[in-house]
Copies of this chain bind each other. A is one copy, B any other.
Amino acid sequence: MQVAAYATQGPTDPLKPFEITRRDLQPDDVLIDITHCGICHSDIHSARNEWGRAKYPFVPGHEIIGRVSAVGGKVTKHKVGNLVGVGCLVDSCLKCSACHDGDEQYCEKGSVGTYGGTEPVIGGPTFGGYSKQIVVRDAFVLKISEKLDPAAAAPLLCAGITSWSPLKHWGIGKGDKVGVIGLGGLGHMGIKFAVALGAEVVMITTSPEKGADARRLGVSDVLVSKDREQMKAHRGSFDFLLNTVPVKHDLNPYLGLLARNGTMVIVGAIEPLEPMHGGILLANRRSVAGSGIGGIAETQEMLDFCAEHGIVCDIEMIDMKDVNPAYDRVVKGDVKYRFVIDMATL
């Protein structure tokens, strides 16, 4: 089937209208009329081939919200008219030990990314959500509560789950002191989730002017990482740090903030990490870990938690035609905290 989309033809080409071919509905497929799609920084890295593995034409978008408009003959989980979401994954083997454990993002056969992956039925690259419609295997389609604002729910599918998954994996809850480093798309969701999970949450930033907004989101304190006295006062006190900073930075001052047995989880894409001091890790049995998005069941759990607790992302809505200037603003960090494209404008 032919579907309208916005695509780029190369790393320096702006996004513009483009017709793409999607596979016809298979028995376990869901056809979704896309209403909203969030803009993730990964969309930009990928469109501009900053990770060196782009395939063109390239259609970004993996924070997709829409309504089911058709289902294949074997689909029982989703019905026409339902509000649904699609995140970073559209397929995986569903048989390996990772998939069995609900970690489809770590599928041993390799999961299929929503964009830039290999289309498993018709071949070629998978095309993302800057598009009128998408066809997705039922197991990778998430239910979205009608209680949630669909536009503001879109970034939950990537920014949301990427922050949620490590908080849940490391068992964060009441009694834990959590630091969220960086206040952007991921950081603002990390704060909302950690607060809702009952933790004491501190925002850690190089920009004191972000403090007021962080307090509005529920943090009990703002720690300015350039302030030596403040850093000293919090030294060795954090059970968990969610590091959402998307650019190279010295990790050692943050490691020193960790309490005994504490873990800093890196969710930002930073290559390579600045050298860490082994002595700081040894001193308090500290850990540094990475975490990438989350599994399907875990994403559904997060979406249900959001519906229950009235949590969505803070967004700025744009028309499809304004995607290129929006990209430039994302790169400058000039968005609170996520752009979402109104797909009716495509």
| Residues of chain A at the chain B interface (Cβ within 8 Å) | 97-98, 101, 103, 106, 108, 169, 236, 260, 263, 266-292
Please indicate which of the listed interface residues A260, A285, A292 has the most CB atoms of chain B within 10 Å of its own CB. Answer: A285
Copies assembled: 2
How would you classify the secondary structure of chain A's contact residues: helix, strand, loop or mixed?
Answer: loop
Q: Can you list 21 A-B contacts with CB-CB less than 8 angstroms, sorted by A residue number?
A: A98-B260, A101-B260, A103-B260, A106-B260, A106-B283, A266-B278, A269-B278, A270-B278, A272-B275, A272-B277, A273-B275, A273-B276, A273-B278, A278-B290, A279-B290, A281-B288, A281-B289, A287-B287, A287-B288, A287-B289, A288-B288
Provide the residues of chain B in CB contact with A269, threshold 8 Å.
278-279, 282
Contact of A106 among B97, B278, B285 (CB under 8 A): B285
Provide the residues of chain B in CB contact with A267, threshold 8 Å.
282
Give the complex CA separation of A276 and B285 in angstroms.
18
A297 to chain B, nearest CB (A): 15
Q: Is the CB of B288 within 8 A of A292?
A: no
Give the complex CA separation of A17 and B31 in angstroms.
84
Contact of A275 among B268, B275, B282, B286 (CB under 8 A): B275
Q: Is the CB of A285 within 8 A of B289?
A: yes
Q: Is the CB of A106 within 8 A of B287?
A: no
Give the complex CA separation of A98 and B262 in angstroms.
13
Please indicate which of the listed interface residues A97, A169, A267, A278 has the most CB atoms of chain B within 10 Å of its own CB. Answer: A278
Closest-by-CB residue of B relative to A97 is: B260
Q: Is the CB of A292 within 8 A of B287?
A: no
A244 to chain B, nearest CB (A): 12
Contact of A281 among B266, B275, B280 (CB under 8 A): B266
Closest-by-CB residue of B relative to A269 is: B278
Other A-B pairs beyond A273-B278, A283-B290, A286-B289, 17, CB < 8 Å: A103-B260, A103-B285, A169-B285, A269-B282, A270-B278, A272-B275, A272-B276, A276-B276, A278-B290, A279-B290, A281-B288, A282-B291, A282-B292, A287-B288, A287-B289, A288-B288, A288-B289
Give the complex CA separation of A108 and B237 in angstroms.
11
Closest-by-CB residue of B relative to A96 is: B260
Give the complex CA separation of A108 and B274 in angstroms.
28
Give the complex CA separation of A97 and B261 in angstroms.
12
A136 to chain B, nearest CB (A): 23
Give the complex CA separation of A133 and B101 in angstroms.
56
The 7 A-B residue pairs whose C-beta atoms are closest, nearest first, are: A281-B290, A282-B290, A287-B289, A272-B275, A282-B292, A270-B278, A287-B287
A195 to chain B, nearest CB (A): 23
A117 to chain B, nearest CB (A): 15
